[in-house]
Amino acid sequence: GWLHTGDIAKMDEDGYFYIVDRIKDMIISGGYNVYPRDIDEVFYDHPKVQEACSIGIPHPTRGEAIKVFVVLKEGETATKEDFISYCETRLAKYKLPTEIEFRTDLPKTNVGKILRKELRAGEMEKRKSDPAVRGVFGGSTEYWKQTTEQLAAQTVTE
């Protein structure tokens, strides 16, 4: 039998497995599977960033685009343009964020893990009345009702 953990793993040439991300967090943008951890790590490497979390948001032609929530270290300032320039030298074009939102904190569990699901839900709520989003996804929020697992399964089987 199989044990479905919800993890995405890669095997190296020596046969060792490495956990890459969670399937429910995967962003599918323009047919590419984008692992949020890849984007988050680039932001965490930036000297002004305290915390970062990336999610998929609806996009009219790509399916999903990338939004990153950023908490700057105390006393630091930066602009969206600063981060886009920074990312352009470190990420493939299809992984570049289209939106960056600065926050003073991010929602977390009791043990301090960032609640990516809560950030996605907040975006869904903000965007559900957006005519552009409704037009792209059939006049409703049906797109948001599909889980990322379902979208990933469709991509794998197509």
Domain containing 70 — which CATH number?
3.30.300.30
Instruction: Please indicate, yes or no, if residue 51 is contained in any of the structural domains.
Output: yes
Q: How many domains does the chain fold into?
A: 1
Instruction: Please indicate, yes or no, if residue 81 is contained in any of the structural domains.
Output: yes
CA 144 from chain centre, in angstroms, equals: 14
Instruction: Please indicate, yes or no, if residue 140 is contained in any of the structural domains.
Output: yes
Taking alpha carbons only, the member of 76, 71, 95 closest to residue 84 is 95
Instruction: Please indicate, yes or no, if residue 6 is contained in any of the structural domains.
Output: no
Domain housing 52: 25-157
Whether 37 contacts 44, CB under 8 Å: no
Q: What is the pLDDT of residue 20?
A: 59
Q: What is the pLDDT of residue 128?
A: 76
Instruction: Please indicate, yes or no, if residue 59 is contained in any of the structural domains.
Output: yes
Q: What is the pLDDT of residue 44?
A: 98
Instruction: Please indicate, yes or no, if residue 2 is contained in any of the structural domains.
Output: no
Instruction: Please indicate, yes or no, if residue 12 is contained in any of the structural domains.
Output: no
Instruction: Please indicate, yes or no, if residue 49 is contained in any of the structural domains.
Output: yes
Q: What is the pLDDT of residue 66?
A: 95
Q: Whole-model pTM?
A: 0.73
Q: What is the pLDDT of residue 139?
A: 42
Q: What is the pLDDT of residue 119?
A: 93
- DSSP per position, 94-141: GG--SEEEEES---B-TTS-B-HHHHHHHHHHHHTT-HHHHHHTTTSS
Run means of pLDDT, 10 residues per run, the chain, 158 residues: 65 76 74 92 98 92 92 97 96 95 96 91 81 50 48 51
Q: What's the farthest any 2 CA atoms get from each other in the chain?
A: 53
**Strand-pair partners of 55:** 67
